[in-house]
Amino acid sequence: MIQDRSRLTTERPNPRSRDIDARSTRQIVDIINAEDHRVAPAVGRQGRQIAAAVDIIADCLRRGGRLFYVGAGTSGRLGVLDASECPPTFGVRRSMVQGIIAGGRAALVRSIEGAEDRAGDGVAAIDRKKVGHLDVVVGIAACGLTPFVRAAVQRARRRGARTVFVTCAPEAAQKNRAEVVINPVVGPEVVAGSTRMKAGTATKLVLNTMTTAAMIKLGKVHGNRMVDLRVTNDKLRDRAERIVMEMTGLGRGSVRRLLSRANGAVKVAVTMHFCNLDAVAARRLLRRYKDSLRAALARSGGAAPRKRASHG
């Protein structure tokens, strides 16, 4: 274990911002923006590791398992954020992707001092969720040393779960015993140690990529359309209608009636239209082809979705 945290890249002072407090407002903004430009390439260099994590996540979810993000502070909040967006975007049950944050729900809106240092709480959180061999646990810690997170990941391994670790500190990356370690090295922060900045941005990019890519592999996306979105508000209702209009060429009135019969499910509505089925049969067909709209239409003889809607 690293004892001297000053050795960590995430803690070192950044020479490019050493006199930032003496700069003009515009210069401050430009320095921060210049540092932010380092984030995406750093994440890109971890493409192989991220892809390996995606394959693990998709495999676990396909077999009925769950994805857990575990973090503290900013890292924990980013995990909870990404998990909370999966149900409306991809139509999955809320239990499929979950965020665990040190200090519990209260830590989402205010700092819970010391929560990240309680390794026992990390172990207890994993036990409480009954994590098992079908699940995957992603530990998130910018510095790579957070006791709550490290203990949770280690406990998950002992319980037979697959494990991934995301950290921005190369010094700690290989000291974390996880099946896949994702280590985007974004360099020292503009304000030394403020990992809510570049490290937080890198973490969000990694988490967004992992869940989005995994859901694509699970058939939640057709082309680049979210065909399993959950219609829970006017914006999503309009989006669902536009997707079906584009894919079928039907007018909005016809699409609304089709979606009504499909109980708002875009994928079911499209399958009903192209395969001339009722909702029950359409759902059955999709299940036969592992929820893949592309496979269901191709193998059942349904027509291919049109590239452009006809709004007449």
Catalytic residues: 85, 116
Vertex 311 angle, CA 308 and 312, to 5°: 130
Residue given tokens 């670790």 in the structure block? 165
Is-contact 231 264, C-beta < 8 A?
Answer: yes
Other Cβ atoms less than 10 A from the Cβ of 47: the count is 11
Vertex 56 angle, CA 71 and 300, to 5°: 130
Other Cβ atoms less than 10 A from the Cβ of 99: the count is 22
Identity of the residue numbered 51: A
What span, in angstroms and rounded, lies between the C-alpha atoms of 195 and 309? 45
What span, in angstroms and rounded, lies between the C-alpha atoms of 201 and 199? 5
